């Protein structure tokens, strides 16, 4: 059983869903410290002026966990909804995907984590991601060491493999996985290139850019971004 673990990002990029597609279970790591203006409360789309940030205003107090962070302004979504519509109204598949995304963004959320999870579940369904999701905050794991926390989550789910992001090479204690008989894999993915509106191609945007531009082909595009390496 191959497990991947990732923080609950806001409108994640396609690589997030590529990891999900490769895994047998996906743990959402909402128990770690929140970092403001990281990917948990912002991401990028493509407007007529190029890459544009979408940010969710939040209330938090250091060292709050992601699960504790609250959305600060109940009116924040109006500007974002307008920005997304203006950027993608002419995209060929905008009408097919926008109503469900708009409904989530329009709701009166208090918890950033809960809103992100609603979006992640919806986008995962649109892309055909089937592996079950688990919330770390629902699981009886209290390890604080970054590597041992991941190993404890894997052991709880009886996993014999863990899929890390490529950056995991820089901070994971790889020998710890070997000591617990867990095969350690690293995602090896390349940002996909696909038709976009508004001029030259820009990579590493939210997956909604891909969905609005290529529709059902997004599933194949995400799956073929890459695989895993040791």
- 94 Cβ neighbours under 8 A, 6+ residues apart: 88, 212
Q: What is the pLDDT of residue 73?
A: 83
- 163 Cβ neighbours under 8 A, 6+ residues apart: 2, 3, 4, 19, 22, 23, 185, 186, 187, 228
Q: What is the pLDDT of residue 75?
A: 86
pLDDT in tens, 1-49: 999 999 999 999 999 999 999 999 999 999 999 998 899 999 999 999 9
Residue ranges for the chain with pLDDT beneath 50 = none
- 79 Cβ neighbours under 8 A, 6+ residues apart: none
Q: What is the pLDDT of residue 37?
A: 85
């Amino acid at each position: 059983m191959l497990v991947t673990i990732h923080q609950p990002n806001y409108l994640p990029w396609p690589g997030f869903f590529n990891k999900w597609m490769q895994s047998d279970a996906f743990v959402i790591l909402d128990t770690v410290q929140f970092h403001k203006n990281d990917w948990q409360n912002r991401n990028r789309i493509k407007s007529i002026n190029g890459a544009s940030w979408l940010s969710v205003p939040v209330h938090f107090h250091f060292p709050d966990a992601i699960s504790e962070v609250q959305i600060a302004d109940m009116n924040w979504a109006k500007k974002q909804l307008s920005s997304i519509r203006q950027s993608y109204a002419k995209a060929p598949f905008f009408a097919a995907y926008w109503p469900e995304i708009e409904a989530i963004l329009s709701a009166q959320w208090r918890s950033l984590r809960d809103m992100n999870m609603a979006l992640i579940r919806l986008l995962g369904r649109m892309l055909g991601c089937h592996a079950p999701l688990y919330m770390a905050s629902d699981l009886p794991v209290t390890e604080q060491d970054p590597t041992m926390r991941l190993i404890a989550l894997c052991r709880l789910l009886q996993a014999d493999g863990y899929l890390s992001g490529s950056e995991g090479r820089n901070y994971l204690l790889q020998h710890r996985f070997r000591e617990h008989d867990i095969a350690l894999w690293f995602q090896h993915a390349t940002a996909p290139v696909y038709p976009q509106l508004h001029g030259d191609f820009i990579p590493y945007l939210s997956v909604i850019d891909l969905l609005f531009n290529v529709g059902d082909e997004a599933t194949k595009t995400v799956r073929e971004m890459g695989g895993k390496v040791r």
